[in-house]
C-alpha cells in the first residue's frame, strides 16, 4: 500500500514537472527544432536534407535533370558509397584548440578545400540563377567554376560580385567560338580554364529521355550560334549537345588551347593513371578526378576509388582535385588524406539553391565547412597539411595483423 502511495506521488510530481517545465513555457529554444509532440523541424541539419527540399520545390523534370545520372545510375550511387567504405584513423592528445581549414588552389587562397563544381542551368532552380550562386561562393571565400552551359553569361556573373572564378570549357565543333569564349573569360577576370574532357558525346540520361527534357538557353553562346534539333527519341538536350560538342578532340588540342590563352588550364574528367600521365605531359596545370557526376559513362569508377591512382601518377607535378559524391565534411577529409588538394561539390549546391536560394547555397557550404572542422579536430589535425594518408584506411589497404 505504501508502495502504491509513493508511486502515486511520483506520477503527480512528474505531471507537475511537465506542467511547469521551461520546455513548455519557452518553446523558442528546443521547440524550434523539436516540439513536445515529437514533430521534427523542416530545417535542414545536413547537406543531404536539401535533396528532399529541392525535390519538393522543383518541377519533376528539373529535379530529375539535376539529380539523375547515366543509365542504371550505378556510378551515381557508387560515388557516394565509395566514401562510406573509407574509414578515418583519428589521433588523440593533439592540440586542436585552433583549426585552420584554409588552403590555396593555383596560388589563390580559399577558406577551406571546397570549390563549386561547374553545374549548368541554375535558372531552372531560381530566377537569379548563377548570380545567386556566385554571391554565395564569394561569401564563403571560395572558388566557383562557372559552367559552359550557365543560364547567366560569364559577364553577368563577373559583375555580380568580387571573387576568384574559373570558367569551364567544352570544345565545340566551331573552334572559333571556343576561342572566343576563352578570350571573353580572360577579359572578364576568370583566373583559369577548366577543360572538360569526358564529353565527346552526352551520356544516356534516361530520366531526361523519359521526361523529354528540352534544351535551355546557353547564355554564353547567345548570338554566336544557333542549333535547331529535332528528336523523336526523347531528350532534345542530348541531341542538342551531340550537335554542339566536338567528338574529335585529342591530347594535341591541349596545345591549341594553350596557344590561345595565358590562363592556367585544368583538365576535368581524368580517372586513370594513363590519362593522368598524359595530362601532365600535355602541360596542364591541374587535374580534376571526375566522372561528370556519374552523368556520362555508367559503371565508370567512383572518383574517390581512383583518386590515389591519379595522385601517384602525377607525382606532385600538378594540382589534383576531386569531384563526385562529396556530401559530408568527412568526405572532404578523406579526399584530402588521399592526396586531393580540394574537392568540388555540384548537386548539393543545386539542391541548396532550389530549396532556399542564395542562402541555401551559403548554408550548404557552411555545413560542409563546419563538419570538416569537427572532423579535423576529432582526428588530431589542426590544419590541412596535417591531414595525411595515415589518417584513412581504404578497402585496398592490407588489414593489420591481428597477432
Binding residues: 65, 147, 168, 196, 205, 268, 290, 292, 295, 323-327, 346-347
Residues flagged as binding site for glyoxylate: 65, 205, 292, 295
Residue 86: DSSP 8-state = -
Strand partners, 87: 393
Q: What is the DSSP string of 164-219?
A: -EEEEEPPBS-HHHHHHHHHHHHHTT---EEEE-S-SS----HHHHHHTPPP---G
Give the active site residues: 292
In Å, how far are 36, 232, 240 from 39, measured between CA atoms? 8, 47, 46
Residue 47 CB partners (closer than 8 Å, separation 6+): 327, 328, 348, 352, 364, 367, 368
Residues flagged as binding site for FMN: 147, 168, 196, 268, 290, 323-327, 346-347
Which residue bears the cell 510530481?
13
Q: Rounded CA gap, 294 and 188, in Å?
A: 31
Q: Rounded CA gap, 337 and 384, in Å?
A: 9
Closest CA to 219 of 342, 109, 130, 343: 130
SS3 (DSSP) at 145: strand
Q: Rounded CA gap, 237 and 149, in Å?
A: 12
Give the dihedral of Cα atoms 277, 278, 282, 286; nearest 10 deg. -50
Q: Rounded CA gap, 395 and 86, in Å?
A: 7
Amino acid at each position: 500500500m505504501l508502495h502504491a502511495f509513493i508511486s502515486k506521488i511520483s506520477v503527480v510530481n512528474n505531471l507537475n514537472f511537465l506542467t511547469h517545465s521551461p520546455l513548455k513555457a519557452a518553446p523558442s529554444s528546443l521547440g524550434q527544432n523539436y516540439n513536445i509532440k515529437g514533430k521534427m523541424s523542416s530545417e535542414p541539419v545536413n547537406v543531404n536534407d536539401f535533396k528532399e527540399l529541392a525535390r519538393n520545390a522543383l518541377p519533376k523534370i528539373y529535379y530529375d535533370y539535376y539529380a539523375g545520372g547515366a543509365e542504371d545510375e550505378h556510378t551515381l550511387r557508387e560515388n557516394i558509397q565509395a566514401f562510406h567504405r573509407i574509414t578515418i584513423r583519428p589521433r588523440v592528445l593533439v592540440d586542436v584548440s585552433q583549426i585552420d581549414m584554409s588552403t590555396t588552389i593555383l596560388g589563390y587562397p580559399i577558406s577551406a578545400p571546397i570549390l563549386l563544381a561547374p553545374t549548368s542551368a541554375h535558372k531552372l532552380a531560381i530566377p537569379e540563377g548563377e548570380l545567386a550562386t556566385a554571391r554565395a561562393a564569394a561569401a564563403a571565400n571560395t572558388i566557383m567554376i562557372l559552367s559552359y552551359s550557365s543560364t547567366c553569361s560569364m559577364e553577368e556573373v563577373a559583375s555580380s560580385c568580387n571573387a576568384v572564378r574559373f570558367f569551364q570549357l567544352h570544345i565545340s565543333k566551331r573552334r572559333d567560338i571556343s576561342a572566343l569564349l576563352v578570350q571573353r573569360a580572360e577579359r572578364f577576370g576568370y583566373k583559369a580554364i577548366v577543360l572538360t574532357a569526358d564529353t565527346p558525346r552526352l551520356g544516356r540520361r534516361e530520366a531526361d529521355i523519359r521526361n523529354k527534357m528540352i534544351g535551355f538557353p546557353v547564355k554564353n553562346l547567345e548570338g554566336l550560334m544557333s542549333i535547331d534539333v529535332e528528336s523523336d527519341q526523347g531528350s532534345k538536350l542530348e541531341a542538342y549537345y551531340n550537335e554542339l560538342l566536338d567528338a574529335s578532340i585529342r591530347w594535341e588540342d591541349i596545345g591549341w588551347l594553350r596557344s590561345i590563352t595565358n590562363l592556367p588550364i585544368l583538365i576535368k574528367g581524368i580517372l586513370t593513371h594513363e590519362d593522368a600521365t598524359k595530362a601532365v605531359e600535355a602541360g596542364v596545370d591541374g587535374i580534376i578526378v571526375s566522372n561528370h557526376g556519374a552523368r556520362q559513362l555508367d559503371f565508370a569508377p567512383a572518383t574517390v576509388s581512383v583518386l590515389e591512382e591519379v595522385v601517384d601518377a602525377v607525382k606532385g607535378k600538378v594540382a589534383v582535385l576531386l569531384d563526385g559524391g562529396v556530401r559530408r565534411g568527412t568526405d572532404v577529409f578523406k579526399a584530402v588524406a588521399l592526396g586531393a588538394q580540394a574537392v568540388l561539390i555540384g548537386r548539393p549546391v543545386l539542391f541548396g539553391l532550389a530549396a532556399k536560394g542564395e542562402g541555401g547555397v551559403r548554408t550548404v557550404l557552411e555545413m560542409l565547412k563546419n563538419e570538416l572542422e569537427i572532423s579535423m579536430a576529432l582526428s588530431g589535425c589542426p590544419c590541412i597539411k596535417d591531414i595525411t594518408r595515415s589518417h584513412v584506411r581504404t578497402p585496398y589497404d592490407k588489414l593489420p595483423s591481428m597477432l
